[in-house]
Chain A
Amino acid sequence: MSTTPTDLDALAATLRAAIGADRVISDRQQLRTYECDGLARYRVVPGLVALPADAAQCAAVVRACVAAGTPFVARGAGTGLSGGALPHAHGALVVTSTMRDIVEVAPDDERAVVQPGVINLAVSRAAAPHGYYYAPDPSSQQICSIGGNVAENSGGAHCLKYGFTTHHVTGLEVVTPDGERVRLGGRAPDSPGYDLLGAFVGSEGTLGIATEVTVRLTRLPESVRTLLAAFGSTDQAGAATSAVIAAGVVPAAVEMMDALAISAAEAAVHCGYPAGAGAVLIVELDGPAPEVDAQFAQVQALCRENGAFEIRIAADDAERALFWRGRKSAFAAVGRISPDYIVQDGVIPRTALPEVLRRIDALSAEHGIRVANVFHAGDGNLHPLVLFDAAVDGQAERAEEVSGAILDLCVTHGGSITGEHGVGVDKAKYLPRMFTDDDLATMHLLRCAFDPDGLANPGKVFPTPRLCGEVPGRRSGVHPAQAAGLAEVF
């Protein structure tokens, strides 16, 4: 991390020789393009950028970085919301978006093999003609890449029923932080040994770079039914959600928006949600037609019982898309009602929803900061949008305060500071609110096993820099002097 500009020049030269001059960027103006990811509040111009064409080139880049002692940061499409791909000023940014081949769609194996730069939605498009799709669907699925999804263990609206990226990746080829290429898992389940695949997914680029990803394909459901229910309040919508879950229904998705989020969405995409709603729920069921039909009627009844004053049922895919458009555009839409905003990603036990929302309201009033609420109601993943105007003195600070207080609320209710966006650089300081130093030190053991020199995405996830040190242990090996033949054991 003490890499100097001169060292970077030397590294750039090495990389140009290794992977081609056109794949290495060191011009200051061009480097600016990469100064942030989806969380633009953090900006660092990278020391240099490498755009490997394939896994072999990616490994060559990492090896060169290791040889130079230069940190490296992997970046996919740059849509992450926690600053996980924030560059290192004296490091290399390894951009995988040029590795974008769909290697194989194998419906008979229910798998697809893709390079990390492949866009999430492209996998589903490639699989659709065979009757399959790729289930994890982050809101950014039209622009985010699978490599980034793997790094962040991305979720999405439908992970309530189908799980997260970790449940849908069965194999990886990775370049480890020492530049080795290693296969983890594959097309078959249950590879013998430790679940390195499971450990790698969601490690936010700190354990290496994925260069090929084998994903599970899910059969396109026979039936999909979607409804939009309007309620007077978020409490009512929350109660309806609880009733649905208590009835033993596992919907594909249950999404909620409050009045402020609805008004933003209306302003942005004219989604035409029912007027006067204090909250809307989108509930989607999918699966075999006989099951969906039986449960869809039940869900409608439960919404009505809990105060829904209007229920719309999507007649076709176009109407379903309209329902979802309001929800999926919500983050961008608040730009219409506020110059600046912070998106939070805290999680609470779903049953704590009414209380936590009341506390958020109180925080909002107390600090004079508006908060729009959009969330995955089924799994308690909140996305409070904390609105502020950076031009107004003190607002940014107060927004940050509200934001932190919301995460505290999540943690004190037994939840998490992040459900799907990752810790990255943005939430590293909040991690100790969830975990003790022993917890973090234990997680760090894993990092040290992969990356003893701390070159892979340093400064992310862990709140304070930690060194690995030598592998401890009383019998970890012969004394170096003995090994060197300088001493003998008598």
Chain B
Amino acid sequence: MPADRILDRLRAAVREAAEGPPRPVRVPGPAAASADGPAAAASVPVTVEAGPVASAPVTVEAGPVASVPVTVEAGPDEAGVVRRAGEADTIAGVPARYLAAPRDTAQAAAVLRAAADLDLAVTVRGGGTKQDWGNPPRRLDLILDTTALAGVVEHAAGDLITVVRAGTALDLLATTLARAGQQLAVDPPVAGGTVGGAVATNTAGPRRLLYGTPRDLLIGVTLVRADGVVARAGGKVVKNVAGYDLGKLVAGAYGTLGLITECAFRLHPLPAAAAYVSRTVDDPGAAGRLAAAVRAGQLVPAGLEVDAPPAGPATVTVLIEGTRAGVAARATAARRLLGAGATSTDRPPGGWGSLPWQAGGTGLKLTAALSGVPRLLAEARAAAERHGLPLALRGSAGVGVLYAGLPGTADPERVAALVDTVRAATAAVAGHTVVVTAPPAVRARVDLWGPVDGLALMRRIKQRFDPDARLAPGRFVGGI
């Protein structure tokens, strides 16, 4: 189908969803009205194709071609944007043909229904901060941009919950909640992200030690399935075991099971005080052992991080949150526990909660059983030295999740060899190594996800939710 007609169909879908109940609209394409009658014209216009031969001569090429003017057509009667993809509208380097930015769940559902009718492959994009994570999509027609699908739907401060649209920026949400002395206790490791992006990738920072990941805080979710059907699971109360917890499933699914349009979260009070107690030790392994000693104590830290630049000493930092009096006493105890040279401040140290790689570099996520963290830190450092690579290590030693980064200029062969070594080291401590992101030359040489337990079941789930594999195909584990 020609690009113009696809755009027309998508626009019509959004327009109708925006206007509420269907009413007769102008049907794009001459065949539709006569073939299907007024009934079809009243719903999402069903254009009857004359067949591939008839439509072939109309070659209006879509795509990120500079000469095609990017038309933003969000007129007063068209709440939401459907347009041709521009040059920047790529996902992990793969160009899209179209972009739709629905403003609510109904519009999003209309877009995905139309995309299903048109057999368009769709990838969801929020803040676009993690689009280089995972594999590039095998097929991409439409970027579903969620940034217009934004806003806090409800903040019930007395109940410590919020319902928020997926495209809401995390920092904006934080500002809103802070007015009531509350927070969504998620530290995004990348700035500029949205709520939906944080859930879809289930990324969390240092304070996951105390509060868990977005998946743990998600109490309800609204999804639009690949076929455009809207489904909700969970609810607005923290304690709830009615029905399957689909929120767990879509959190961390990289948008391969459906579009998340709304999330309900459990909130926490903002702590009155915080202290960061740090100590620098000789090497990553020693840092890991020190972190283990903190865990065995009674500090109940909110975060317990290790930061080890490519060479030299490493730093352990304990984050204490609580009442003013409580934090002061516990920070003193933390200094004692960390030993000589420990310092305490109320400001996070440099690099706190950020990922140890730059754009274009290779980023790894290493997990371990807690007892294996010191060994993993030591082995990762040793392996990097053996392979002659400057590996930066940083992460939540108190949880068993570490990140490792290499510059984009590192030799791909060596990086691939290091990934193998580190993967074996994580496997030995009951963990996994996932290549979160990497330059193309490295991607070509490594398996990003490594071994995945339960992959056959995951494929069956994907097949039920997205049988035509149109949602971010290939982005996730095992080609899902």
User: Which residues of chain A have a CB within 8 Å of any CB of chain B?
Assistant: 106, 108-111, 131, 152-153, 155, 159, 163-164, 166-167, 176, 180, 182-196, 198-199, 201-203, 219, 221-222, 242, 245-246, 248-250, 287-291, 293-295, 347-351, 376, 379-381, 414-423, 427, 431, 434-436, 438-443, 445-450, 461, 471-476
Contacts and interface: CB of A to CB of B under 8 A. Distances in A.
A422 B477 contact: no
A347 B216 CA distance: 19
Nearest to A435: B243
Given A109-B370, A110-B370, A446 B244 contact: yes
B239 A184 contact: no
A449 B216 contact: no
Query: Considering the complex of A and B, which 9 residue pairs feature the smallest CB-CB distances, nearest first?
Result: A473-B467, A198-B248, A248-B269, A442-B231, A291-B326, A290-B329, A108-B371, A187-B369, A188-B431
Contacts of A289: 298
A476 B463 contact: yes
Contacts of B477: 192-194
A298 B216 CA distance: 29
B229 interface: yes
B156 interface: yes
B425 to A, nearest CB: 12
B368 interface: yes
Interface stretch (B91-99, B382-390, B449-457): B449-457
B58 to A, nearest CB: 24
B156 A443 contact: no
A177 B274 CA distance: 48
Which interface residue of B223, B457, B465 has the most chain A CB atoms within 10 A?
Answer: B457
B351 interface: no
25 contacts: A106-B371, A164-B239, A190-B202, A198-B249, A202-B244, A219-B295, A221-B300, A222-B298, A288-B298, A290-B329, A291-B323, A379-B239, A381-B239, A414-B237, A416-B241, A418-B240, A419-B241, A434-B243, A435-B233, A445-B461, A446-B249, A449-B460, A474-B119, A474-B467, A475-B468
Given A108-B292, A449-B463, A167 B252 contact: no
B299 interface: yes
Contacts of B35: none
Given A184-B453, A192-B449, A195-B249, 20 more contacts: A153-B245, A193-B452, A194-B249, A219-B296, A221-B298, A288-B298, A288-B300, A381-B239, A415-B235, A418-B242, A419-B240, A423-B242, A431-B243, A434-B242, A439-B232, A439-B233, A440-B243, A441-B229, A446-B244, A476-B468
A349 B156 contact: yes
B251 interface: yes
A203 B248 contact: no
Contacts of B161: 349
A81 to B, nearest CB: 11
Contact of B467 (A201, A245, A422, A472): A472
Contacts of B233: 435, 439, 442-443
A164 B244 CA distance: 15
Nearest to B453: A183
A295 B325 CA distance: 10
Interface in B211-236: 212-213, 215-216, 223, 225, 229-233, 235-236
Given A191-B453, A248-B269, A418-B242, A347 B371 contact: no
A49 to B, nearest CB: 26
Contacts of A201: 245
Contact of A199 (B242, B244, B399, B400): B244
B246 interface: yes
A191 B325 CA distance: 38
A113 to B, nearest CB: 11
A131 B300 CA distance: 14
B429 interface: yes
B357 interface: no
Contact of A290 (B231, B296, B326, B431): B326
